[in-house]
Chains A and B, each alone.
Chain A
C-alpha cells in the first residue's frame, strides 16, 4: 500500500519561511493534500494539488510537487506564531477515495 513519510519536527523563527517536506510511494496518486492540526482540534484542509500540476500558490502557501521523485513540499512564507501546529501530508490513491496520511510534522515558530 501507499507509504507517506514526513520529518517529525521543524523549528523556524517568526518571519522566516518554513518548508515542510513529504515523500510518498504510489505513483498513481491523484490528489495530494496538506492539512493543519492545532492542539485539541481536528484536521483542517489547507490546500491540495492535482498530480498533473507541479506548483500551486495560495496566499502565503506554496505547494511544490515533484512527481518523478514523489516529493511534495509546503512552503509557508512569513511564518507567524499562529502557524505553529502539526502539518499532515495526505495522498489520495489512484482509483479510490482513501487518503493515506503521513506522520505529521510539528512546526514550532519561535519569536
Chain B
C-alpha cells in the first residue's frame, strides 16, 4: 500500500494564480480530509468527504477555495486566485476505523 499520495510536494506560485493540489487516498478508505497547517493556526480542517460527498466545508476559509472528489480515488483542492496568506502546508488524509492516514503534504508558497 503506497499510503495517501499528494502532489505536488512543493508549489511556488505568484499571487493571483490558480493553484490545484491533488490527493489519492488509500484504497478502501471512504472518508477524505483536507487540512491546512501553519505556524500561527496549527492544523485546521478545511473540508471532508464521506463516500465522495462533501460533508463539512465549514473550515474552507473563503470562496477562493474549492474542493472536489469526483471518485473514490481522487480529490483536488483548488485556490483561485491565490494570495500570500494562503502559504501553508496542505495535508490530505483518508480514514479507516483506526484513525487517519496522512499524506506527506504540499508546501505552498504564494509570492
**Once the chains bind, are B43 and A42 in contact (CB under 8 Å)?**
no
By DSSP majority rule, is chain A's interface helix, strand, loop, or mixed? strand
By DSSP majority rule, is chain B's interface helix, strand, loop, or mixed? strand
Cβ of B34 within 8 Å of any chain A Cβ, yes or no, is: no
Q: Closest chain A residue to B4 by CB distance? A: A42
Cβ of B25 within 8 Å of any chain A Cβ, yes or no, is: no
Please indicate which of the listed interface residues B4, B100, B104 has the most CB atoms of chain A within 10 Å of its own CB: B100
Tally of contact residues, A, Cβ under 8 A: 18
Beyond A42-B91, A42-B104, A104-B42, whether A97 also contacts B99 by CB under 8 A is no
From the candidates B42, B48, B101, B104, name the one contacting A41 in the complex (CB within 8 A). Answer: B104
Q: How far is the CA of A104 from the CA of B40 in the complex (A)?
A: 12
Cβ of B75 within 8 Å of any chain A Cβ, yes or no, is: no
**Once the chains bind, are B45 and A98 in contact (CB under 8 Å)?**
yes
From the candidates B48, B50, B91, B99, name the one contacting A33 in the complex (CB within 8 A). Answer: B99
